[in-house]
Structure 1
Amino acid sequence: MARHIFIRFGRCQFDLANITVEPVLFLYMFANFLYFPTYQALIFNKVCIHSYRESFCEELQHNKTFKDDHKVEDDHVTSETSFWILKSTIALTATSFFTTVLFLGPFGDKWGRKIPVILPCCGALFSSISALLNAKFMAAPLVYLIVGPVLNGLCGGFIACLMAVYSFVGHISSPANKMMRLGIVEAMVFLAGAVGVFVSGMMLEKEGYVVTFTLVCVANGVAIIYAAVWLDNVQATNSEMLEREGCGQATLRFLAETFQCMKKRRSGWTLPALILQVLVLDVLMLCTSGDMDISLLYLREHLGFSQTMYGYVKGLDNFMRFSTLVLVLPFVKRLTTVRDLPLVIFGLISYAADFGITGFAQAKWLIFLAVCIGMFKGLPSAGLRATMSIMVSSEEQGRLFGLIAASESVISLLASLLFNQLYPATLSFMPGLCYVLGAALALFMVLIVGFVHYKTRRIDTAENPYMTFQEETNQVVNDPAW
């Protein structure tokens, strides 16, 4: 249980009780970013070993001339790897969707929010143990690669972790400091990505699969222990009403309220604006998930990136987005009156430029240039969620973000189906076509966000959400807890 422990810095003091789920999310995402590229490399290696000799696979991965001389075999291994990555993603996403929407949401409302935070960490631990065993026994059948994702999905996976963490922070935060705390939580994702992906490449090349997956297990284990010992089991204010409901009744009520959030009749142009912004978020998830599935294969096969170099570029990508959210965005909001949707448009243009350069790149330095130009890719997600949040009442916040999480889970699955089928099919004539299509989608989303901004820009001052943003920000700055 969290206890009040004060740390003093001169005349200022900080209560450690204010630190709640932030370390859990950092450790979980650090392990996730460390796990994913290593797991992709493991699949490539296992697929190759099951088709050819181990010595042949070593040359194929580390000898550029040998790879060029055996392009047919290399394309075969790449295509099979993409296929198994698709299977793993389906196994994880399909199970996590039902676990999150049908179980963890009602469970958190009825019995408290501690277990929903811990359970996804347990699933990640099971998944990393499975990957560790697959790395230890490389000759084991390929079907065992699916065991870890299934176990992870049954515990909720990535979607459940985000839902549980945001629900926890939203529950314990006051209206004055809620935005600040949620911003810090979101920044943990990018910080973990910067550290995790950067470390993964070096560890895999120097220490191998077993040591890397062991570190993933340790990170998930520490997250579980921290959450179990430190976090309070906060409960909803309507827990007495929920106690009279069965689990099935709570599940049905949760689903009904989630979808009623979008069906509810609203004044003016609010409902179409909400729907279009959810669409933009889903397209961003489509591009992001697709990039995660094919980026390692694309950069390694097309541009000759090593595992370490891949870690450098992805670590830099996440660090740049983290810096934008915690340094650039507060600076811009404090010194200007720019609204959120114009910032979203700017971020989408940055997103499109990043994907466009990556798709046409013929040299490694262009990938690093794309990362620098795409440093504002974190703005669209943050801006859209903030704008949608102020378009619904405070009682509908959980339902809105529950619906967003469910839709993003489905889109993540569709992205894997699309990109893992499209990428192998384009290897022979344009390997970067997936990124070019992603850039085109991002530019189309610019038009949609611009249209939403045009339709909503004349909202009366009394209903203007940005006035609320400014008032809450000023209150947070003066909050002694921060």
Structure 2
Amino acid sequence: MSAWKEKLRRVVTVEPVIFFYMTSTFIVTPAYQQMIITKVCQALLKNETLCSNPKHHKGDEEIQTTASYILLLFNATLSLVSIPPAIMLGSWSDRAGRRWVMAFPSLLSLLSGGLLLAVSLLGNISVYWTLLAAALTGLTGGHVSIFLSSFSYLADLTMGSSSSRTLRMAVAESMIFVGGTVGFLLGGFLQQEFGLKAAFAAYIGCHVLALLYIALWLRDPSTGRNTCIAEQCSPEDQSRLNILKYAKLSFKAVFKRRSGQERLKLHFLILCTFINNLVAVGDQSILLLYLMYEPREFTTALFGVFNSVRMLLLGFGLLGLFPVLMRCIKEMTLAKLSAVFRIASYVLLAFSNNTWMVFLVAVVGAPAGISQAVIRSLSSAIVGPDEQGAMFSFSASVEATCILIASTIFNGLYPLTLTTVPGMPYIIMAVFMLIVLILLQWISEMPATHPRLVLSD
């Protein structure tokens, strides 16, 4: 029984952690967005009855514009606070273990969820208290810390097997979308039937489950942990690595010289990760406002259904479609095809003016998640076993900046084009994905990955 349990522990690892965290994220994202819109309405119109029903004010341009700018501040706070921990925690996890880094975001998310619940329950409290909730979530890196620790864990577990690593990372990546499916369905139902407070309570519950799973089930793999990097092997450094040295290790793992064009390839892959995340954050930051605006006029419940269908199809693309296609198509070719489908989905969304066209976006974009799973796997293959956390930490810190940059671009652009071309932000997203496609083609034309070799500076 013990041997069976240990074998199962190698099969089921970080996937539930990502699932719980992303479920909570997709429950809370539309909930706090709706709460911000409602509180902005109450501040502007001074009519609680009118503002309690989104149907009565969803076409008001002043409410849309003000809410968009507050969401920009929320995302900017989350991003700025997330960057320092994200860049340090990966190198620390190379020594202390991955589980501690996985647990930190859920611990502070409990406090953030409690604050959002309080703002929801207290009608006279200012909407700007939500910014403190964003800061609490960001203090441990938020979702980027979950990703860097989880994918570093899988890199440790699959060291020496590139095909296995790609598939394992695809399964882990699919948990983002499976969590999105459950989160949006559950969140939409809870908001419609029980109100925002129920959604925030479910958010807190997901983080409790994540912490219990990490504490009771997950074990750190022995590979790739507690090893020294280059000159960091002196007794003094082993006994005490300060914060700046952890940050330095992340930069060193990314910028050190490597054989052939491996360093340039790694930089391009991280740039692809940045753009992918930039577009994903931008998409979610304005999607609720965009779909509620005329002529689409989605309700909160319909918004939840659309996002659930979209996430379900993205998850199917990674769990069902990707493993089958890998048998006959190279992974880099699949990554490029994935980018093409994502471009098409954003163009279609930009010009969607009714419900069926919006839902067609979910079908067209089903393979869109494949590219990032391939990018993570290729990035991991370039660095050594003692650099996984450091590399993913740098990548995660780059992703953290996306929250601020995406909000600045898309939440700032959306009000400006609202009365002329409301879908313009999605055209810009398609252009960004075209850049990713060009970079992937460039990477595919570089020489194949060599055995890891670090050259002296």
2:319 maps to what in 1? 326
Deviates more, 1:23-32 or 1:370-379: 23-32
Cα drift, residue 430 of structure 1: 0.8
Matched, 1:445 2:436: yes
Q: Structure 1-normalised TM-score?
A: 0.85
Cα drift, residue 106 of structure 1: 4.6
Matched, 1:274 2:259: no
Q: Distance in 1 between matches of 2:126 and 2:146?
A: 30
Higher-Rg member (1/2):
1
Match of 1:98 among 81, 84, 87: 84
Match of 2:138 among 144, 153, 156: 153
Q: Distance in 1 between matches of 2:311 and 2:86?
A: 26
Q: 1:113 to 1:276 in 2, by over 3 A?
A: closer
Match of 1:425 among 416, 435, 440: 416
8 Å Cα contact 2:291/2:303 also seen in 1: yes
Q: 1:392 to 1:374 in 2, by over 3 A?
A: same
2:67 maps to what in 1? 81
Cα drift, residue 24 of structure 1: 2.2
Match of 1:44 among 37, 52, 56: 37
For the residue of structure 2 that corresponds to 1:249, the secondary structure is coil
1:113 maps to what in 2? 98
8 Å Cα contact 1:242/1:250 also seen in 2: no
8 Å Cα contact 2:170/2:374 also seen in 1: no
Structure 2 residue identity aligned to 1:22: E
8 Å Cα contact 2:82/2:397 also seen in 1: no
Cα drift, residue 395 of structure 1: 4.0
Q: Structure 2-normalised TM-score?
A: 0.89
Q: Distance in 2 between matches of 1:281 and 1:267?
A: 22
Cα drift, residue 314 of structure 1: 0.8
1:377 maps to what in 2? 368
Q: Distance in 2 between matches of 1:106 and 1:247?
A: 15
8 Å Cα contact 2:350/2:427 also seen in 1: yes
Q: Distance in 2 between matches of 1:86 and 1:269?
A: 38
1:210 maps to what in 2? 197
Q: 1:228 to 1:203 in 2, by over 3 A?
A: same
Q: Distance in 1 between matches of 2:363 and 2:209?
A: 33
Q: 1:14 to 1:444 in 2, by over 3 A?
A: closer
Map of 1:70-469 to 2, 5 A cutoff? Answer: 74-102=60-88, 104-173=89-158, 175-176=160-161, 178-232=165-219, 236-238=225-227, 244-245=236-237, 249-302=241-294, 303-334=296-327, 336=328, 338-456=329-447, 459=448, 463=450
Cα drift, residue 172 of structure 1: 4.5
8 Å Cα contact 2:165/2:377 also seen in 1: no
Matched, 1:55 2:41: no
1:6 maps to what in 2? 4
Q: Distance in 2 between matches of 1:392 and 1:147?
A: 37
8 Å Cα contact 1:88/1:145 also seen in 2: yes
8 Å Cα contact 1:285/1:408 also seen in 2: yes
Deviates more, 1:261-270 or 1:231-240: 231-240
Match of 2:16 among 23, 27, 32: 23
Cα drift, residue 264 of structure 1: 2.5
Cα drift, residue 18 of structure 1: 4.3
Moved over 6 A (4+): none
Deviates more, 1:107-116 or 1:378-387: 107-116
Percent identity, please.
25
- Residues 67-111 of structure 1, C-alpha deviation per residue, up to 9 Å, x if partnerless? 6xxx5xx11111111111111111211111112223x33543443
For the residue of structure 2 that corresponds to 1:271, the secondary structure is helix
Q: 1:293 to 1:182 in 2, by over 3 A?
A: same
1:480 maps to what in 2? none
Cα drift, residue 357 of structure 1: 0.5
Q: Distance in 1 between matches of 2:220 and 2:272?
A: 34
Q: 1:355 to 1:254 in 2, by over 3 A?
A: same
1:472 maps to what in 2? none
For the residue of structure 1 that corresponds to 2:353, the secondary structure is coil
For the residue of structure 2 that corresponds to 1:140, the secondary structure is coil
Corresponding pairs, count: 443
For the residue of structure 1 that corresponds to 2:226, the secondary structure is coil
Cα drift, residue 50 of structure 1: 1.6
Q: Distance in 1 between matches of 2:290 and 2:235?
A: 52
For the residue of structure 2 that corresponds to 1:390, the secondary structure is helix
Structure 2 unaligned spans of 5+:
453-457
Q: 1:99 to 1:5 in 2, by over 3 A?
A: same
- What is the root-mean-square deviation of aligned Cα atoms in Å? 2.7
Cα drift, residue 392 of structure 1: 3.6
Q: 1:203 to 1:171 in 2, by over 3 A?
A: same
Cα drift, residue 16 of structure 1: 4.9
Cα drift, residue 241 of structure 1: 5.4
Cα drift, residue 17 of structure 1: 6.4
Q: Distance in 2 between matches of 1:248 and 1:286?
A: 35
Cα drift, residue 325 of structure 1: 0.8
**Higher relative contact order, structure no. (Cα contacts within 8 Å, ≥ 6 residues apart):** 2
Q: 1:313 to 1:248 in 2, by over 3 A?
A: farther
Q: 1:339 to 1:165 in 2, by over 3 A?
A: same
Q: 1:445 to 1:237 in 2, by over 3 A?
A: closer
Q: 1:4 to 1:35 in 2, by over 3 A?
A: farther
Deviates more, 1:226-235 or 1:33-42: 226-235
Q: 1:351 to 1:126 in 2, by over 3 A?
A: same
Cα drift, residue 428 of structure 1: 1.3
Q: Distance in 2 between matches of 1:397 and 1:223?
A: 23
Q: Distance in 2 between matches of 1:174 and 1:267?
A: 19
